[in-house]
Chain A
Amino acid sequence: DAGVTQSPTHLIKTRGQQVTLRCSPKSGHDTVSWYQQALGQGPQFIFQYYEEEERQRGNFPDRFSGHQFPNYSSELNVNALLLGDSALYLCASSLGARWKLFFGSGTQLSVL
């Protein structure tokens, strides 16, 4: 049973560029959430997708957008990258919106 998978594992971009991160949820899960984790801090909620719609959003600018596909996989897009966007981006899935959350290994994004 595959867990939550994310790609790529590492990514280097320059300021102003755009990036797309990908996530496949754990088998049987229908809800995907994205979190940003800066070095030395706890993860921060970006948004959550269920039934292909953004259901909840944290305190992140519109430069952060996402999508969920019919197979429940998801993408996170970040436009106009800033140095401060450098972080570990974590995808998490759950069965339904309120139950135990399972995380992927993350994508380490470095913005130069």
Chain B
Amino acid sequence: GIQVEQSPPDLILQEGANSTLRCNFSDSVNNLQWFHQNPWGQLINLFYIPSGTKQNGRLSATTVATERYSLLYISSSQTTDSGVYFCAVDRNNAGNMLTFGGGTRLMVKP
């Protein structure tokens, strides 16, 4: 099956700092989504981004499908950004059978 690797595995930031999270995948994909899992376990969908660039407030994402990677940018980080960020992909056309990466655990300190 497809392999999804995320880096870094852990990240500690001071409030206000910027960061870049990376997701590499081993095969071409038709579906790529970024999620944030907060400390209470709730998974929030940040982006549906199989290719191109999107922005939502302080967050933006870029997927370069031909080179099999995606980047999530967090600017001016806040303590509420803490949690685990997951990249998830699907390589077939049938639907959301997502394969998740191992996640990046982010802690933002005040």
Contact = CB atoms under 8 A, between A and B. Distances in A.
Nearest to A59: B1
Contact of A100 (B48, B93, B101, B103): B48
12 contacts: A31-B95, A33-B96, A35-B98, A42-B86, A43-B86, A56-B97, A58-B97, A97-B95, A98-B31, A99-B48, A103-B43, A108-B41
Contacts of B40: 105
The prevalent SS among residues of A at the interface is: strand
Contacts of A50: 95
A104 B93 CA distance: 24
Given A33-B96, A88-B41, 15 more contacts: A42-B86, A42-B100, A42-B101, A44-B100, A45-B97, A45-B98, A45-B99, A56-B97, A97-B94, A97-B96, A98-B93, A101-B45, A103-B43, A103-B45, A106-B41
B62 interface: no
Given A100-B33, A105-B41, A42 B94 contact: no
A42 B103 contact: yes
A54 to B, nearest CB: 12
A15 interface: no
Chain A CB within 10 A, most for which of B31, B33, B41, B86 = B41
Contacts, number: 68
A48 interface: yes
Nearest to A44: B100
A105 B39 CA distance: 12
A45 B98 CA distance: 7
A24 interface: no
Contact of A42 (B30, B44, B48, B102): B102
A71 interface: no
Nearest to A102: B45
